[in-house]
Amino acid sequence: MLTISQAAAQIGVSAPTLRRWDRNGTFQAYRTAGNHRRYNLAEIRAFLARTFSVKTKKK
C-alpha cells in the first residue's frame, strides 16, 4: 500500500487529483485507522489502463 504522495509520484498525477478521485468516487482509496488514504498501485494502474486506453485504427 502506498501513501498518497507515493502513489501520485508513481503514476504521474498530483496528490490533489487522487484526493478528488476519492471524493467523487472515480477511484476509492483505502483508509487507515487514522483516516489516512492508502493506495494499491496495481489497482490504480489497472484503473488508468481501463480509463485512458488508446484506441488505434487499422489500415
Q: Are 29 and 23 in contact (CB under 8 A)?
A: no
Q: Give me 12's grid cell.
A: 504521474
Predicted local distance difference test score (pLDDT) of residue 11 = 84
Specify the range with the lowest mean pLDDT, choosing from 12-16, 41-45, 54-58.
54-58
- Residue 15 · residue 22 · CB < 8 Å: no
Q: What is the pLDDT of residue 31?
A: 95
Domain residue ranges of the chain, discontinuous segments joined by +: 4-51
Q: What is the pTM of this model?
A: 0.72
pLDDT at 39 over 80: yes
Which grid cell is 37?
488514504
